Structure 1
């Protein structure tokens, strides 16, 4: 079974703070994933996003920033609560505001993947991850967040099973 963490850049003015609306928006974006990926406004990680977060958590050992910007790319943002009339099968959703997107982009642009890998690589290899897969996720997130920050966008996140 596949389970994805889906990221979608969107102008903050276009977002409604409503779970039902945002779930429909993200569902439409998921259906158009290939086109939106080609346009650079979406990104997704299949199953392994927790490991990507663990990779970024290695930045804490380097005292990069007291505000822990390493949390922002994967788990950053605020949850969007289900409304009383929401479909219980709707996915968990989060929104990362434009300042958070900028912080995430800065973190991803400045953190050294090689240094992070040096900290966690042996453990990750033992779990079946290879360096190239994580590097590909990192580069995808780097580009995605960089474009979203340059546009002043927020990032919506959904988990799809």
Structure 2
């Protein structure tokens, strides 16, 4: 079973306050999404998305104050799908996206890594795994920074969903 955490940028004018519309947004392929909302930007985190959340938010349950650090991965207003067995969608407004983009642009990856390093390395037995693991988190940080920066530049919102 593959689990992915998807983040999709949506222009506010195309956004619908409907869980059914959000579900279609994630079920449709990229070309259909691009046709429906006029452009397409997406970021996908693999099943370790909670580790990425830890990088920004601190030790669970979110020891960071409310705001951009907690919004990068899991933040947003929940919108519950019609099927209660499915996880909720998370919606960040364009203003919230701008806040997250500013936070990520100003964040020092080395500081984030130092704070979360012990928890992020815990699952890895090999003592020489740190350079590879750190590199993966650094790449994800760069990707998320670019995604939020471009999304904020367009003035778009972000809809997030754990796709199982």
**What TM-score range do you get, normalising by the shorter chain?**
0.7 to 0.9
Structure 1 runs (4+) deviating above 4 angstroms are 87-91
Q: TM-score, normalised by structure 1?
A: 0.81
Conserved 8 A contact 2:105-2:145: yes
Worse-matched range after superposition: 116-125 or 143-152: 116-125
Superposed CA deviations along residues 48-93 of structure 1, whole A, max 9, x for unmatched, are 111111111249xxxxx954320111111101133xxx34565531
**Structure 2 segments unaligned to the other structure (5+ residues):** 125-129
Conserved 8 A contact 1:101-1:145: yes
Taking a change above 3 Å as real, the CA distance of residues 156 and 53 of structure 1, as seen in their structure-2 partners, is: same
Structure 1 match to 2:105: 109
Structure 2 match to 1:52: 52
Conserved 8 A contact 1:57-1:71: yes
Cα drift, residue 27 of structure 1: 1.3
In 2, Cα distance between equivalents of 1:139 and 1:16: 29
Cα drift, residue 151 of structure 1: 0.4
Structure 2 match to 1:62: none
Higher helix share: 1
Structure 2 match to 1:134: 137
Superposed CA deviations along residues 88-122 of structure 1, whole A, max 9, x for unmatched, are 56553111000100011011111111011112213
Alignment of 1:1-161 (within 5 A): 1-28=1-28, 31-32=29-30, 41-58=41-58, 67-82=66-81, 86-87=82-83, 91-128=87-124, 130-161=133-164
In 1, Cα distance between equivalents of 2:76 and 2:122: 31
In 1, Cα distance between equivalents of 2:25 and 2:148: 19
Conserved 8 A contact 1:80-1:95: yes
Structure 1 match to 2:127: none
Taking a change above 3 Å as real, the CA distance of residues 91 and 123 of structure 1, as seen in their structure-2 partners, is: closer
